[in-house]
Amino acid sequence: MRVAVTGAAYVAAPKSTLPTDATTPWGSAFTDIGWISDDGIAESNSADSTEIKGWQGGATVRKVISSSEMSFTFTAIETSKTVLELYHKGSKVVTTDGKSVLAVKAPGPDRRTFGFDVIDGDSHIRIAIPDGEVTETGDITYKGDEAVAYELTITAYPGPDGTVAIKYSDDPAWGTAPEA
């Protein structure tokens, strides 16, 4: 049994070179997104299907997947240039003479490369998203007894071969079949 004890989330420019295993350091193109709330990172896979019914009796004879989606949701609890620019898609933080300004623009396309590390003791799972985008954000609440938090949902888009994410592990159990 594995527990996601800790980890990290990363972002880089589109088409950045991905790692090829679970433990090699992320390349210099990747920026650590920072602190993530204790809810961790949630992976979601969904598929819509259409039923094909037979004329003889109306029984379902086949289901065809009409659409599918893989997404990852987490809440960043660090206010940084990286987080602000992810949350406010298409907007950029500009710093001059030690003062920063974020002119919030209407969101536009902002595809990037993302990655996640999930660590449990000596076990390491790495998830690489070659082509992803923040497609949903939660509300920001400014409150005296809570951290300012930025809920982000990243949708993973398929590449030419249909791959939406790549998972690596250094856990030997990944390569063995369960005992009968």
Beta strands in the chain (DSSP E): 6-12, 31-32, 42-53, 60-76, 93-96, 99-102, 112-120, 123-137, 150-156, 166-169
How confident is the model at residue 63, as a pLDDT? 79
Cα dist from 68 to 42, 50, 109, 114, 157, whole Å: 17, 12, 20, 19, 10
* Residues 29, 16: Cα–Cα separation, whole Å: 7
Ranges of the chain whose pLDDT falls below 70: 1-4, 66-68, 175-180
Contacts for 103 with CB less than 8 Å, ≥ 6 apart: 91, 92, 94
How confident is the model at residue 79, as a pLDDT? 94
Task: For tokens 């210099």, name the residue.
Answer: 28
How confident is the model at residue 4, as a pLDDT? 61
Cα dist from 60 to 30, 155, 165, whole Å: 47, 31, 32
How confident is the model at residue 20, as a pLDDT? 94
pLDDT digits (tens, 9 = 90+) for 151-161: 999 999 999 99
How confident is the model at residue 178, as a pLDDT? 64
Q: Cα 29 vs. chain centroid, distance in angstroms?
A: 17
Q: Which of 2, 49, 18, 46 is nearest to 116 (CA)?
A: 18
How confident is the model at residue 180, as a pLDDT? 59
How confident is the model at residue 54, as a pLDDT? 84
Q: Give backbone dihedrals phi and psi of 178, rounded to 5 degrees, phi first.
A: -65, 150
How confident is the model at residue 148, as a pLDDT? 95
- Dihedral angle computed from the Cα positions of residues 19, 165, 74 and 170, in that order, rounded to the nearest 10 degrees: -50
**Are 67 and 53 within 8 A, CB to CB?**
no
